[in-house]
C-alpha cells in the first residue's frame, strides 16, 4: 500500500493497530497491517510515545493529588485522610499495571514489525 492516506484513514489505521496490540484483531486485520509495515511501525512508535507521556503525566497528577490530600486543612479526621491516600495510590498502581502491560505489548509488536521489515528487505535483495 503506497497510497497517501487522509486523516480519517490514518485514525482508522491507528485503531486497527491498537486492536492488534490488544490482541483483539482478526486475521484479516493482521494481514492488512502487513501491507503497510512502515506505517504500522510508525504508528506503534507514536503510540509508545503517547503512552509514555500518559505515564509521566499521570504520575505527576497522582503525586499532586496525594500532596493536596496530605496538606488539606479540612476538618477531616486523619484516619479518613490516610484511607483516601491509600485508595488513591491503589487506583494509580492498578492503572499503571494495565498501562505497562499495554506498553509491553506495543514493544513486542514493534519488534515483530522490525523483524518483518528486515526479512522483507532480505528477500527483496
Q: What is the mean pLDDT of the chain?
A: 91
What's residue 95's pLDDT?
A: 96
Residue 73 pLDDT > 70: no
What's residue 87's pLDDT?
A: 94
Put simply, whether the predicted model's pTM sits higher than 0.95 gets the answer no
What HEC string does the chain produce? CCCCCCHHHHHHHHHHHHHHHCCCCCHHHHHHHHCCHHHHHHHHHHHHHHHHHHHHHHHHHHHHHHHHHHHCCCCCCHHHHHHHHHHHHHHHHHHHHHHHHHHHHHHHHHHHHHHHHHHHHHHHC
Amino acid at each position: 500500500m503506497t497510497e497517501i492516506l487522509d486523516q480519517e484513514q490514518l485514525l482508522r489505521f491507528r485503531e486497527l493497530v491498537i486492536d492488534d496490540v490488544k490482541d483483539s484483531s482478526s486475521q484479516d486485520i493482521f494481514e492488512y497491517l502487513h501491507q503497510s509495515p512502515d506505517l504500522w511501525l510508525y504508528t506503534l512508535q507514536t503510540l509508545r510515545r503517547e503512552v509514555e507521556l500518559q505515564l509521566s503525566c499521570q504520575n505527576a497528577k497522582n503525586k499532586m493529588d496525594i500532596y493536596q490530600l496530605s496538606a488539606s486543612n479540612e476538618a477531616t479526621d486523619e484516619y479518613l485522610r490516610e484511607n483516601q491516600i491509600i485508595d488513591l495510590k491503589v487506583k494509580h498502581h492498578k492503572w499503571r499495571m494495565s498501562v505497562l502491560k499495554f506498553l509491553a505489548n506495543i514493544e513486542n509488536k514493534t519488534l515483530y514489525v522490525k523483524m518483518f521489515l528486515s526479512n522483507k528487505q532480505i528477500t527483496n535483495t
